[in-house]
């Protein structure tokens, strides 16, 4: 045994075993892969081996003792990829894709603190084997042959890894037919293929999509326009044009989930001001409104809200499709009714590539961190209270009517708040993420109340449509134990889906105050707003429908192909009755659900054709002037902005 360990082959075998062991450890410790049978458990055991053998086997191509250096470098890269997925999953409950790697600029704007907050004391395990291998290499390399391993033997090692992958894929196809052809969640791919083979698959898919823009042509639009026209919902005459000419103030409630509304922690309301808005006779609260974001999270929400387009299945369109042609709310409102547009955000302008994609949207003014006193910052940027306070003079400087998008930040993971800003006690579940969440949500609530009072004092409140929305979840399924304690409900897959509700509140003339139970999502907000302002959304390519229309489509399609409606909650191949949470077994209802799934799959496919092919560059609505990004410069302030 000692002689074997002192050889190249023994060194390689030990590296494979170590890499396999820590990958399997990550499956059990970090990832919720939803194992339901013995076949899936067996695949978990074998799927790290094929990639480990193939990639580490490449080290045998090196001559002499350099083989050890090659192997250590390859092992480190694979270990780093595994650990990066561990950290990413701890927050996003998802796996890294190549497009998300283009979002690394976000690290410069505060994500570093969040990453350190995700680390655990036992994480050294993910790199301990490399340290042991380095020590073994140092002490045994003197006994290694200076010759390169025969090519035939190297090829046999790599071929054995490929053969093992073929067996792995064959068994996966037995348990999940058409695994690579059908649209599945990334969790399925990692469960069946492992993180390393999944990364290769992701790279191939990314290469395919990157060529779509070059190959796209105007003829590709015909199916898209036909679909959107067929699914257009006529505006409700009762509301159409009621808010024409009014300012629009859209307020982004970071990571705010609807369960917070009317929630009491130890008998105390967490968000008393937002609770009061639910009962305001001027404001409509949609309590069955869901976020529809994917990996882009906040950026996806902005894309959905301003374009009525889904984000990408992988990565963020803001980052990887930031130079596409868009027909977004700022440009539509400007060209239709002469609106000025502005975004207010107490963070660096480069975060999520906003300084580039806002030009494609036609945003006139971008008030980023350079306009604010950033000494009052925590976590990702400026605290919400000073943010709203310092935004007021900027808001008043805009030519009216204006379309203003205000992005809050304090209620963001890891939900950090200075003790002097906390006005409610933390929860006591023992999960710091969940426990802190209530304090930052209360702080946001107080900041909103202050801002509403300032709007009323300025005289802008009565002449403004005000829209508040939650962008995405704040508490992921990684915190189910604590959330069971908070909600008093078992956090099943069905219950987790229901928890994806985020608030939507709209103040506009003629709306009936109180709670509206219509099912909808972020995709539906733009056509709803357009119709309130008297703009017919039918001339634009938009996949959402007016929430106030009698023809509104109440099927809330999610980016991964699942959907939620008042009748059904569809999660993969499991169908639930939304009202009861019971699994649907009636064949007629199952057929109805399958038709809805097919319709949603078509919508998602067409949406991706638009983004990957940049198809809107070929589409010219009536009286539309394409946005020229060179007309916008967020680097130079005007004299009025300086003041």
86-99: burial string, b at 16+ Cβ within 10 Å, e else: bbbbbbbbbbbbbb
Length of the chain: 643
The residue annotated as part of the active site, out of 100, 228, 284, 298, is 298
Neighbouring CB atoms inside 10 A of 373's CB total: 13
E strands of 431-549, at which residues?
A: 464-470, 504-507, 514-521
According to the annotation, is 471 in a ligand binding site? yes
User: Measured in whole angstroms, how far is the alpha carbon of residue 635 from the centre of its chain?
Assistant: 28
Q: CA 148, CA 287: separation in Å to the nearest integer?
A: 67
Residue 298 marked in a binding site:
yes
Cis peptide before 619 (omega within 30 of 0): no
Q: What angle is formed at CA 302 by the lines to CA 299 and CA 307, rounded to 5 degrees?
A: 125
Alpha-carbon distance of 594 to 64, in angstroms, equals 59
N-to-C CA span, the chain = 77
In angstroms, rounded to a whole number, what is the distance separating the alpha carbons of residues 106 and 80? 19
Going by their DSSP bridges, the two strands 504-507 and 464-470 should be labelled as: antiparallel
d(Cα 563, Cα 380) in Å, to the nearest integer?
31
Residues 6+ apart with CB under 8 A from 146: 63, 64, 65
Cα(598)–Cα(590) distance, rounded to whole angstroms? Answer: 12
Distance CA 310, CA 522 (A): 9
Give the separation between CA 15 and CA 77, rounded to whole angstroms: 13
Please enumerate in sequence order all residues whose Cβ is within 8 A of that of 269, keeping only pairs 6 or more positions apart, or say none.
262, 263, 275
SS3 readout for 554-616: CCEECCCCCEECCCEEEECCEEEECCCCCECCCHHHHHHHHHHHHHHHHHHHHHHHHHHHCHH
What lies within 8 Å, CB to CB, of 488 at 6+ separation is none
254 among the known binding-site residues?
A: yes
Name the residue with tokens 């971008």: 366
Nearest by Cα to 270 from 416, 422, 418: 422
Determine whether the annotation assigns residue 412 to a binding site: yes
Closest CA to 245 of 629, 538, 509: 509
**Tokens 């070059």 appear where?**
214
- What span, in angstroms and rounded, lies between the C-alpha atoms of 401 and 340? 6
Contacts of the segment 46-49: beta carbons below 8 A, 24+ positions apart:
46/164, 46/167, 46/168, 47/168, 47/192, 47/193, 47/194, 47/197, 48/19, 48/20, 48/23, 48/24, 48/194, 48/195, 48/196, 49/16, 49/20, 49/161, 49/164
> In the block, which residue shows the tokens 């950026």?
299
Q: Is 298 a catalytic residue?
A: yes
Tell which residue, 369, 351, 377, has the closest CA to residue 298: 351
Establish whether the linkage from the previous residue to 23 is cis, with ω within 30° of 0.
Answer: no
Whether 345 has a binding-site annotation, put simply, is no
Binding-site positions for Mn(2+) read 254, 298, 471-472
Binding-site positions read 254, 298, 412, 471-472
Catalytic machinery residues: 298
Binding-site positions for substrate read 412
């Amino acid at each position: 045994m000692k002689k074997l360990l002192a050889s190249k082959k023994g060194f390689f075998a030990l590296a494979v075993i170590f890499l396999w062991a820590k990958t399997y450890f990550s499956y059990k410790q970090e990832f919720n892969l939803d194992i339901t049978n013995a076949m899936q458990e067996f695949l978990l055991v074998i799927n790290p081996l094929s990639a480990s053998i193939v990639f580490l086997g490449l080290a045998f191509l090196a001559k002499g003792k350099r083989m050890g250096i090659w192997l250590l470098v390859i092992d480190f890269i694979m270990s780093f990829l595994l650990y990066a997925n561990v950290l990413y999953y701890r927050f996003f409950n998802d796996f890294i894709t190549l497009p998300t790697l283009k979002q690394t600029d976000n690290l410069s704007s505060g994500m570093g603190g969040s990453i350190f907050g995700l680390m655990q004391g036992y994480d050294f395990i993910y790199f301990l084997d490399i340290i042991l291998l380095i020590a073994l290499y140092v002490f045994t390399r003197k006994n290694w042959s200076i010759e390169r391993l025969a090519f035939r033997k190297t090829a046999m090692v790599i071929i054995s890894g490929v053969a093992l992958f073929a067996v792995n894929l064959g068994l996966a196809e037995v348990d999940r037919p058409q695994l690579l052809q059908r649209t599945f969640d990334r969790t399925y791919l990692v469960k069946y293929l492992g993180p390393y083979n999944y990364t290769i698959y992701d790279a191939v898919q990314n290469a395919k999509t990157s060529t779509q823009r070059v190959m796209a042509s105007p003829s590709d639009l015909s199916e898209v326009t036909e679909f959107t026209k067929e699914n257009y919902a006529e505006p409700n005459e009762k509301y159409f044009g009621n808010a024409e000419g009014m300012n629009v103030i859209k307020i982004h409630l970071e990571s705010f989930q609807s369960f917070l509304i009317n929630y009491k922690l130890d008998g105390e309301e967490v968000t008393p001001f937002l609770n009061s808005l639910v009962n305001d006779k001027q404001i409509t609260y949609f309590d069955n409104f869901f976020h529809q974001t994917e990996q882009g999270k906040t950026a996806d929400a902005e894309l959905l809200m301003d374009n009525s387009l889904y984000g990408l299945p992988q990565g963020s369109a803001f980052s990887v499709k930031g130079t596409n042609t868009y027909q977004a709310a700022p440009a539509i409102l400007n060209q239709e009714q002469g609106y000025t547009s502005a975004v207010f955000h107490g963070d660096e302008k480069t975060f999520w590539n906003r300084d580039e994609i806002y030009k494609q949207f036609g945003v006139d003014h971008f008030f980023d961190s350079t306009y604010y006193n950033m000494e009052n910052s925590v976590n990702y940027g400026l605290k919400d209270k000073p943010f709203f306070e310092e935004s007021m003079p900027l808001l008043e400087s805009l030519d009216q009517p204006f379309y203003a998008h205000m992005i809050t930040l304090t209620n963001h993971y890891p939900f950090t708040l200075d003790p002097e800003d906390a006005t409610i006690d933390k929860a006591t579940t023992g999960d710091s993420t969940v426990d802190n969440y209530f304090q930052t949500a209360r702080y946001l609530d107080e900041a909103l109340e202050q801002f509403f009072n300032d709007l009323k004092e300025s005289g802008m409140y009565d002449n403004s449509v005000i829209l508040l929305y939650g962008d995405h979840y704040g508490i992921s399924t990684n915190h189910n134990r604590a959330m069971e304690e908070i909600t008093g409900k078992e956090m099943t897959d069905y219950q987790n889906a229901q928890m994806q509700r985020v608030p939507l509140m709209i103040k506009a003339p003629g709306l009936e105050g109180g709670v509206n139970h219509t099912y909808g999502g972020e995709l539906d907000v733009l056509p709803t707003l357009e119709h309130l302002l008297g703009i017919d959304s039918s001339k634009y390519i938009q996949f959402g429908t007016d929430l106030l229309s009698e023809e509104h489509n109440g099927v809330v399609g999610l980016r991964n192909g699942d959907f939620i409606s008042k009748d059904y909650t569809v999660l993969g191949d499991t169908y639930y009755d939304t009202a009861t949470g019971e699994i649907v077994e009636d064949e007629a209802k199952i057929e109805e659900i399958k038709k809805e799934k097919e319709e949603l799959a078509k919508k998602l496919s067409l949406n991706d054709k638009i983004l990957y092919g940049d198809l809107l560059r070929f589409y010219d609505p009536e009286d539309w002037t394409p946005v020229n990004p060179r007309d916008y410069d967020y680097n130079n302030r005007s004299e009025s902005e300086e003041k």
